[in-house]
Amino acid sequence: MTTFHSLTVAKVEPETRDAVTITFTVPQALQSAYAFRPGQHLTLKARLAGEELRRCYSICRRAVPGEISVAVKAIDGGRFSGYARAQIKAGMTIDVMVPQGNFGYQPQPERTGSYLAIAAGSGITPMLAIMESTLQTEPHSQFTLIYGNRSSQTMMFRQALADLKDRWPARLQLVCLFSQESLDSELLHGRIDGEKLRALGKTLIAFDQFDEAFICGPAAMMDDAETTLLSLGMPGKAIHLERFNTPGGSARRAANVHAQGQTVVIRQDGRDRHITLSADDESILDAALRQGADLPYACKGGVCATCKCKVLRGEVSMATNYSLEPDELAAGYVLSCQALPVTPDVIVDFDAKGMA
Protein backbone atom coordinates (compact mmCIF):
# COMPACT_ATOMS: atom_id res chain seq x y z
CA MET A 1 0.00 0.00 0.00
CA THR A 2 1.07 3.55 -0.66
CA THR A 3 1.71 5.00 2.75
CA PHE A 4 -0.57 7.98 3.20
CA HIS A 5 -1.97 8.89 6.60
CA SER A 6 -4.57 11.49 7.49
CA LEU A 7 -2.76 14.10 9.55
CA THR A 8 -4.38 17.00 11.36
CA VAL A 9 -3.19 20.49 10.51
CA ALA A 10 -1.88 22.01 13.75
CA LYS A 11 -1.24 25.49 12.36
CA VAL A 12 -0.81 27.50 9.18
CA GLU A 13 1.66 30.39 9.35
CA PRO A 14 2.09 33.03 6.63
CA GLU A 15 5.64 33.38 5.30
CA THR A 16 5.15 35.88 2.48
CA ARG A 17 2.09 37.07 0.57
CA ASP A 18 2.22 33.87 -1.49
CA ALA A 19 3.66 31.31 0.90
CA VAL A 20 2.64 29.55 4.09
CA THR A 21 4.16 27.01 6.43
CA ILE A 22 1.76 24.17 7.24
CA THR A 23 2.48 22.18 10.39
CA PHE A 24 0.89 18.78 10.90
CA THR A 25 0.45 16.94 14.18
CA VAL A 26 2.12 13.53 14.09
CA PRO A 27 0.52 11.13 16.58
CA GLN A 28 2.81 9.04 18.76
CA ALA A 29 2.00 5.85 16.83
CA LEU A 30 3.17 7.41 13.53
CA GLN A 31 6.31 9.16 14.73
CA SER A 32 8.73 6.57 13.41
CA ALA A 33 6.90 6.51 10.06
CA TYR A 34 7.37 10.28 9.74
CA ALA A 35 11.04 10.31 10.80
CA PHE A 36 12.93 12.09 8.01
CA ARG A 37 16.33 13.06 6.74
CA PRO A 38 16.59 16.86 6.50
CA GLY A 39 15.99 17.78 2.85
CA GLN A 40 13.24 15.21 2.24
CA HIS A 41 9.70 16.15 1.27
CA LEU A 42 6.10 15.22 2.01
CA THR A 43 3.52 14.48 -0.66
CA LEU A 44 0.09 15.96 0.06
CA LYS A 45 -3.00 14.55 -1.62
CA ALA A 46 -6.37 16.20 -2.17
CA ARG A 47 -9.36 15.79 -4.45
CA LEU A 48 -10.08 19.11 -6.17
CA ALA A 49 -12.98 19.50 -8.60
CA GLY A 50 -13.28 15.73 -8.77
CA GLU A 51 -9.63 15.11 -9.59
CA GLU A 52 -7.04 13.62 -7.25
CA LEU A 53 -3.96 15.83 -7.10
CA ARG A 54 -0.67 15.07 -5.39
CA ARG A 55 2.13 17.53 -4.79
CA CYS A 56 5.48 17.34 -2.99
CA TYR A 57 6.58 20.02 -0.57
CA SER A 58 9.90 20.10 1.25
CA ILE A 59 9.99 19.67 5.00
CA CYS A 60 11.14 23.05 6.27
CA ARG A 61 12.04 22.50 9.91
CA ARG A 62 14.30 20.17 11.82
CA ALA A 63 12.74 17.10 13.41
CA VAL A 64 10.60 17.92 16.43
CA PRO A 65 8.63 15.15 18.19
CA GLY A 66 4.94 15.27 17.38
CA GLU A 67 4.99 17.63 14.43
CA ILE A 68 6.25 18.07 10.90
CA SER A 69 6.13 21.21 8.73
CA VAL A 70 6.20 21.94 5.03
CA ALA A 71 6.24 25.25 3.19
CA VAL A 72 3.93 25.87 0.24
CA LYS A 73 4.37 28.74 -2.17
CA ALA A 74 1.40 29.46 -4.44
CA ILE A 75 2.49 29.52 -8.05
CA ASP A 76 0.62 31.09 -10.97
CA GLY A 77 -2.08 28.67 -12.07
CA GLY A 78 -1.02 26.13 -9.45
CA ARG A 79 -4.24 24.37 -8.48
CA PHE A 80 -2.88 22.54 -5.50
CA SER A 81 -0.56 25.27 -4.23
CA GLY A 82 -3.36 27.85 -4.52
CA TYR A 83 -5.67 25.55 -2.58
CA ALA A 84 -3.02 24.82 0.03
CA ARG A 85 -2.19 28.47 0.61
CA ALA A 86 -5.75 29.74 0.73
CA GLN A 87 -7.89 26.91 2.03
CA ILE A 88 -5.89 24.62 4.29
CA LYS A 89 -6.63 25.67 7.87
CA ALA A 90 -5.79 24.44 11.36
CA GLY A 91 -7.98 21.52 12.39
CA MET A 92 -8.42 20.09 8.87
CA THR A 93 -7.11 16.64 8.06
CA ILE A 94 -4.99 16.14 4.96
CA ASP A 95 -3.66 12.94 3.38
CA VAL A 96 0.10 13.07 3.77
CA MET A 97 2.56 10.47 2.49
CA VAL A 98 5.47 9.47 4.71
CA PRO A 99 8.70 11.40 3.95
CA GLN A 100 10.41 10.61 0.65
CA GLY A 101 13.25 11.86 -1.47
CA ASN A 102 16.97 11.42 -1.95
CA PHE A 103 17.99 15.01 -1.39
CA GLY A 104 19.37 16.14 1.92
CA TYR A 105 21.90 15.40 4.57
CA GLN A 106 21.78 13.44 7.79
CA PRO A 107 23.94 15.36 10.28
CA GLN A 108 26.42 13.32 12.30
CA PRO A 109 27.32 14.55 15.81
CA GLU A 110 30.95 13.48 15.51
CA ARG A 111 31.49 15.18 12.15
CA THR A 112 32.91 18.65 11.62
CA GLY A 113 32.13 19.95 8.16
CA SER A 114 31.83 23.07 6.10
CA TYR A 115 28.67 23.18 4.03
CA LEU A 116 27.28 25.44 1.33
CA ALA A 117 23.63 25.94 0.41
CA ILE A 118 22.64 27.85 -2.72
CA ALA A 119 18.92 28.59 -2.97
CA ALA A 120 16.61 30.86 -4.91
CA GLY A 121 12.99 31.63 -4.04
CA SER A 122 11.17 28.71 -2.45
CA GLY A 123 14.33 26.62 -2.96
CA ILE A 124 15.15 27.78 0.56
CA THR A 125 12.62 25.34 2.03
CA PRO A 126 14.70 22.15 2.25
CA MET A 127 17.80 24.20 3.09
CA LEU A 128 16.23 25.53 6.24
CA ALA A 129 15.75 22.01 7.61
CA ILE A 130 19.25 20.94 6.53
CA MET A 131 20.95 24.01 8.01
CA GLU A 132 19.10 24.00 11.31
CA SER A 133 19.59 20.26 11.82
CA THR A 134 23.26 20.40 10.91
CA LEU A 135 24.13 23.39 13.07
CA GLN A 136 22.21 21.85 15.95
CA THR A 137 23.70 18.35 15.63
CA GLU A 138 27.29 19.09 14.56
CA PRO A 139 28.60 21.57 17.14
CA HIS A 140 31.71 22.59 15.20
CA SER A 141 30.36 22.62 11.64
CA GLN A 142 29.91 25.74 9.53
CA PHE A 143 27.20 26.61 7.04
CA THR A 144 27.11 29.25 4.32
CA LEU A 145 23.83 30.11 2.60
CA ILE A 146 23.66 32.06 -0.65
CA TYR A 147 20.00 32.96 -1.07
CA GLY A 148 18.54 34.80 -4.05
CA ASN A 149 15.19 36.58 -4.22
CA ARG A 150 13.55 39.33 -6.20
CA SER A 151 13.20 41.51 -3.11
CA SER A 152 13.17 41.33 0.66
CA GLN A 153 9.35 41.30 0.48
CA THR A 154 9.29 38.05 -1.49
CA MET A 155 11.97 36.40 0.65
CA MET A 156 10.66 33.35 2.47
CA PHE A 157 11.72 32.56 6.04
CA ARG A 158 13.25 35.97 6.75
CA GLN A 159 12.56 35.64 10.47
CA ALA A 160 13.59 31.99 10.67
CA LEU A 161 16.92 32.79 9.00
CA ALA A 162 17.49 35.75 11.32
CA ASP A 163 16.78 33.45 14.28
CA LEU A 164 19.32 30.90 13.03
CA LYS A 165 21.90 33.66 12.59
CA ASP A 166 21.22 34.90 16.13
CA ARG A 167 21.66 31.41 17.47
CA TRP A 168 24.85 30.56 15.61
CA PRO A 169 26.40 33.89 14.58
CA ALA A 170 29.91 32.49 14.13
CA ARG A 171 28.94 29.27 12.36
CA LEU A 172 26.34 30.53 9.88
CA GLN A 173 27.18 32.88 7.03
CA LEU A 174 24.14 34.37 5.25
CA VAL A 175 24.58 36.01 1.87
CA CYS A 176 21.28 37.36 0.53
CA LEU A 177 20.99 38.64 -3.05
CA PHE A 178 18.11 40.67 -4.44
CA SER A 179 17.50 41.10 -8.15
CA GLN A 180 14.86 43.84 -8.02
CA GLU A 181 15.88 45.86 -5.00
CA SER A 182 18.51 48.53 -5.08
CA LEU A 183 21.29 47.93 -2.63
CA ASP A 184 24.43 49.76 -1.61
CA SER A 185 26.47 46.71 -2.52
CA GLU A 186 26.50 45.92 -6.23
CA LEU A 187 27.85 42.49 -5.30
CA LEU A 188 24.58 41.58 -3.57
CA HIS A 189 22.39 42.93 -6.36
CA GLY A 190 21.28 40.53 -9.08
CA ARG A 191 20.50 36.89 -9.68
CA ILE A 192 22.54 33.90 -8.66
CA ASP A 193 24.51 32.78 -11.69
CA GLY A 194 28.03 31.68 -12.48
CA GLU A 195 29.33 35.21 -12.80
CA LYS A 196 27.83 36.24 -9.46
CA LEU A 197 29.19 33.16 -7.70
CA ARG A 198 32.67 33.84 -9.05
CA ALA A 199 32.42 37.45 -7.90
CA LEU A 200 31.38 36.29 -4.43
CA GLY A 201 34.30 33.87 -4.48
CA LYS A 202 36.74 36.74 -4.95
CA THR A 203 35.57 38.65 -1.90
CA LEU A 204 33.06 37.10 0.50
CA ILE A 205 33.18 33.34 0.17
CA ALA A 206 36.05 30.85 0.06
CA PHE A 207 34.53 28.15 -2.11
CA ASP A 208 37.44 25.77 -1.56
CA GLN A 209 36.46 25.35 2.12
CA PHE A 210 33.25 23.41 1.46
CA ASP A 211 32.88 19.65 1.93
CA GLU A 212 29.34 19.47 0.54
CA ALA A 213 27.05 21.78 -1.41
CA PHE A 214 23.26 21.74 -1.66
CA ILE A 215 21.47 23.56 -4.49
CA CYS A 216 17.74 24.17 -4.93
CA GLY A 217 15.86 26.64 -7.11
CA PRO A 218 14.95 27.26 -10.74
CA ALA A 219 16.62 24.94 -13.24
CA ALA A 220 18.82 27.56 -14.92
CA MET A 221 20.20 28.75 -11.58
CA MET A 222 20.88 25.19 -10.48
CA ASP A 223 22.68 24.27 -13.69
CA ASP A 224 24.79 27.43 -13.51
CA ALA A 225 25.65 26.91 -9.85
CA GLU A 226 26.58 23.26 -10.37
CA THR A 227 28.78 24.07 -13.37
CA THR A 228 30.48 26.85 -11.44
CA LEU A 229 31.16 24.71 -8.37
CA LEU A 230 32.58 21.95 -10.56
CA SER A 231 34.81 24.46 -12.33
CA LEU A 232 36.00 25.72 -8.95
CA GLY A 233 37.18 22.21 -8.13
CA MET A 234 34.34 20.78 -6.05
CA PRO A 235 33.86 17.05 -6.75
CA GLY A 236 30.56 16.16 -8.41
CA LYS A 237 29.78 13.69 -5.62
CA ALA A 238 29.80 16.54 -3.10
CA ILE A 239 27.18 18.58 -5.00
CA HIS A 240 23.56 17.71 -4.23
CA LEU A 241 20.68 19.03 -6.31
CA GLU A 242 16.99 19.25 -5.50
CA ARG A 243 14.95 20.15 -8.53
CA PHE A 244 11.62 21.86 -8.16
CA ASN A 245 8.55 19.81 -8.68
CA THR A 246 6.89 20.22 -12.06
CA PRO A 247 3.21 20.66 -11.16
CA GLY A 248 1.02 18.73 -13.50
CA GLY A 249 4.11 17.32 -15.10
CA SER A 250 3.61 14.03 -16.77
CA ALA A 251 5.78 11.26 -17.99
CA ARG A 252 7.31 11.55 -21.41
CA ARG A 253 7.57 8.36 -23.38
CA ALA A 254 11.04 6.86 -23.28
CA ALA A 255 12.58 7.34 -26.71
CA ASN A 256 12.09 4.51 -29.19
CA VAL A 257 10.31 2.28 -26.71
CA HIS A 258 7.15 0.60 -27.94
CA ALA A 259 5.82 -1.33 -25.00
CA GLN A 260 2.23 -1.90 -26.09
CA GLY A 261 1.07 -5.36 -25.07
CA GLN A 262 4.10 -6.07 -22.90
CA THR A 263 3.52 -7.50 -19.45
CA VAL A 264 5.46 -6.32 -16.40
CA VAL A 265 5.45 -7.94 -12.97
CA ILE A 266 5.01 -5.43 -10.14
CA ARG A 267 6.14 -6.61 -6.71
CA GLN A 268 4.62 -4.70 -3.80
CA ASP A 269 3.98 -5.69 -0.20
CA GLY A 270 5.47 -9.09 -1.02
CA ARG A 271 2.91 -9.84 -3.72
CA ASP A 272 3.35 -10.04 -7.49
CA ARG A 273 0.88 -8.53 -9.91
CA HIS A 274 0.99 -8.73 -13.71
CA ILE A 275 0.15 -5.55 -15.60
CA THR A 276 -0.10 -5.11 -19.35
CA LEU A 277 0.91 -1.92 -21.11
CA SER A 278 -1.42 -0.23 -23.57
CA ALA A 279 -0.49 2.15 -26.38
CA ASP A 280 -1.54 5.08 -24.18
CA ASP A 281 0.57 4.19 -21.17
CA GLU A 282 3.52 6.56 -20.86
CA SER A 283 5.18 4.49 -18.16
CA ILE A 284 5.01 1.36 -16.04
CA LEU A 285 3.47 3.52 -13.30
CA ASP A 286 0.71 4.73 -15.65
CA ALA A 287 -0.15 1.19 -16.66
CA ALA A 288 -0.16 -0.06 -13.08
CA LEU A 289 -2.37 2.79 -11.80
CA ARG A 290 -4.77 2.31 -14.70
CA GLN A 291 -5.08 -1.34 -13.70
CA GLY A 292 -5.85 -0.52 -10.08
CA ALA A 293 -2.45 -0.78 -8.37
CA ASP A 294 -1.90 1.52 -5.39
CA LEU A 295 1.68 2.62 -6.03
CA PRO A 296 3.55 5.58 -4.53
CA TYR A 297 3.97 8.59 -6.81
CA ALA A 298 3.75 12.36 -6.72
CA CYS A 299 5.26 14.52 -9.48
CA LYS A 300 5.19 12.05 -12.40
CA GLY A 301 7.96 14.20 -13.82
CA GLY A 302 11.11 12.33 -12.80
CA VAL A 303 11.84 14.82 -10.02
CA CYS A 304 10.70 13.53 -6.64
CA ALA A 305 11.74 9.84 -6.68
CA THR A 306 8.56 8.88 -4.82
CA CYS A 307 7.87 6.26 -7.51
CA LYS A 308 11.30 4.64 -7.22
CA CYS A 309 11.46 0.87 -7.61
CA LYS A 310 14.14 -1.69 -8.32
CA VAL A 311 14.43 -3.72 -11.50
CA LEU A 312 14.88 -7.34 -10.42
CA ARG A 313 14.83 -8.81 -13.90
CA GLY A 314 14.82 -7.55 -17.47
CA GLU A 315 15.56 -4.10 -18.75
CA VAL A 316 13.68 -0.80 -18.76
CA SER A 317 14.34 2.57 -20.37
CA MET A 318 13.68 5.88 -18.62
CA ALA A 319 12.60 9.02 -20.44
CA THR A 320 14.21 11.28 -17.88
CA ASN A 321 15.74 11.23 -14.41
CA TYR A 322 16.32 14.25 -12.23
CA SER A 323 16.53 12.48 -8.90
CA LEU A 324 18.31 9.12 -8.84
CA GLU A 325 22.03 9.20 -8.13
CA PRO A 326 24.52 7.18 -10.22
CA ASP A 327 24.97 4.60 -7.44
CA GLU A 328 21.21 4.03 -7.31
CA LEU A 329 21.04 3.58 -11.07
CA ALA A 330 23.94 1.14 -10.86
CA ALA A 331 22.06 -0.80 -8.17
CA GLY A 332 19.07 -1.18 -10.49
CA TYR A 333 16.74 1.52 -9.18
CA VAL A 334 14.51 3.32 -11.67
CA LEU A 335 11.68 5.83 -11.63
CA SER A 336 8.54 3.93 -12.52
CA CYS A 337 6.86 7.14 -13.74
CA GLN A 338 9.54 7.40 -16.43
CA ALA A 339 10.24 3.76 -17.20
CA LEU A 340 9.00 1.50 -19.96
CA PRO A 341 10.05 -2.13 -20.46
CA VAL A 342 12.44 -2.89 -23.29
CA THR A 343 12.58 -6.65 -22.65
CA PRO A 344 9.59 -8.96 -22.16
CA ASP A 345 10.62 -10.33 -18.75
CA VAL A 346 10.63 -7.24 -16.52
CA ILE A 347 10.03 -7.55 -12.77
CA VAL A 348 10.10 -4.37 -10.68
CA ASP A 349 10.08 -4.30 -6.89
CA PHE A 350 8.45 -1.46 -4.96
CA ASP A 351 9.40 -3.01 -1.63
CA ALA A 352 13.12 -2.43 -2.28
CA LYS A 353 13.79 0.96 -0.69
CA GLY A 354 17.26 0.16 0.59
CA MET A 355 18.97 3.23 -0.86
CA ALA A 356 16.25 5.75 -0.06
The H or E element spanning position 202 is helix 194-203
266 touches ligand FES (CB under 6 A): no
Residue nearer to ligand FES on the CB measure, 107 or 302 = 302
Single-letter amino acid code for the residue at 328: E
Q: DSSP string spanning 287-330?
A: HHHHTT-----S-SSSSS-TTEEEEEES-EEES--SS--HHHHH
299 touches ligand FES (CB under 6 A): yes
Cβ neighbours of residue 230 closer than 8 Å, sequence gap 6 or more: 236, 239
297 touches ligand FES (CB under 6 A): yes
298 touches ligand FES (CB under 6 A): yes
CA distance to 34, 322, 328, 349, per residue, from 354 (Å): 17, 19, 10, 11
Whole-angstrom distance, CA of residue 81 vs CA of residue 67:
21
**Residue from 69, 154, 306, 309 in contact with ligand FES (CB under 6 A):** 306
Query: Shortest Cβ distance from residue 147 to ligand FES (Å)?
Result: 26
Do residues 72 and 98 make contact, with C-beta atoms less than 8 angstroms apart? no
Query: Shortest Cβ distance from residue 197 to ligand FES (Å)?
Result: 28
Query: Shortest Cβ distance from residue 219 to ligand FES (Å)?
Result: 15
337 touches ligand FES (CB under 6 A): yes
7 touches ligand FES (CB under 6 A): no
CA distance to 7, 56, 118, per residue, from 248 (Å): 24, 12, 26
Q: Note the Cα 291 to chain centre separation in Å.
A: 28
Residue nearer to ligand FES on the CB measure, 94 or 299 = 299
How are beta strands 212-217 and 114-120 bridged, if at all? Answer: parallel
Query: Shortest Cβ distance from residue 66 to ligand FES (Å)?
Result: 28
> Which region, judged by CB under 6 A, interacts with ligand FES, from 121-129, 162-170, 296-304, 345-353?
296-304
Measured at CB, which residue is nearest to ligand FES?
Answer: 337
103 touches ligand FES (CB under 6 A): no
Q: Which residues bind ligand FES (CB under 6 A)?
A: 297-300, 302-307, 323, 335, 337
